[in-house]
Structure formats: structure tokens, C-alpha cells
């Protein structure tokens, strides 16, 4: 089991990967927004699972420990949840309170079809 190596060649994990892509330092090469979803489902054997899934592009993913991770989630402290909600509200696009274009203006002037 603990025999001396008979080959002078190094065996084991190598630090460098010659096939690894390289690029300009401190740049983003790909950016795809992702959606997360909390899901409870019943598998082929009838067992119920509660997990977290992620959609990236057009593909759904589930990490191998998603069910354990989802089971370990705990609610935020109310003060922190409130601050997060405020940040989410800041990220929403502003919707004007009044329409910028009057859709019925052409009908009122008699030019509508």
C-alpha cells in the first residue's frame, strides 16, 4: 500500500492546466443573469423533495447538495430583511404615474381608423 514510487515522473495533482483558457486580467468574459426558484416536487418513487434550482440561460441546474442547502435556510432578521426589500425596490424600473403618450388622442381628433 505505501510503496516507494518506482518512476521519477511526478504522479498526482498538477497545479497547471495547459487546456485552461486565459484572458485579460480583471475582466468578465461571460455574464448571464440567473434565476433561482424554491421547488418542492415528488420524484419517480413518490418521495417529496424540497430544493433550490437555478436557471441560467435556457438551462435549469440543481447542485448535488441543493436539498441540504435548502433545508438549512433560515429567515433573515427582520431589520436585515427590510433593508434587502428596500434594495430590491431600488432595483425595479421606475414606472411613470401618467402615460407619456395619449393613445386615444387620434380618435378624439377624428383621425382614427
Domain residue ranges in the chain: 34-108
Q: What is the pLDDT of residue 11?
A: 57
* Mean pLDDT, residues 81-86 taken together: 90
pTM, two decimal places: 0.51
- Note the pLDDT tens digit of each residue in 10-53: 555 555 556 777 888 888 888 888 999 999 999 999 999 999 99
Please check whether residue 41 is in contact with residue 48, taking contact to mean a CB–CB distance below 8 angstroms. Answer: yes
Virtual CA dihedral for 33, 37, 43, 44, nearest 10 degrees? -40
- Note the pLDDT tens digit of each residue in 48-79: 999 999 999 899 999 999 999 999 999 999 99
Amino acid at each position: 500500500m505505501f510503496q516507494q514510487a518506482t518512476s521519477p515522473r511526478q504522479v498526482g495533482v498538477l497545479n497547471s492546466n495547459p487546456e485552461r483558457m486565459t484572458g485579460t486580467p480583471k475582466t468578465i468574459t461571460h455574464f448571464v443573469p440567473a434565476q433561482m426558484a424554491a421547488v418542492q416536487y415528488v420524484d419517480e418513487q413518490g418521495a417529496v423533495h424540497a430544493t433550490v434550482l437555478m436557471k441560467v440561460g435556457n438551462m435549469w441546474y440543481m447542485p448535488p447538495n441543493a436539498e441540504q442547502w435548502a433545508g438549512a435556510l433560515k429567515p433573515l432578521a427582520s431589520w436585515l430583511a427590510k433593508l434587502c426589500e428596500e434594495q430590491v425596490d431600488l432595483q425595479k424600473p421606475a414606472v411613470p404615474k401618467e402615460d407619456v403618450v395619449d393613445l386615444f388622442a387620434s380618435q378624439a381628433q377624428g383621425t382614427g381608423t
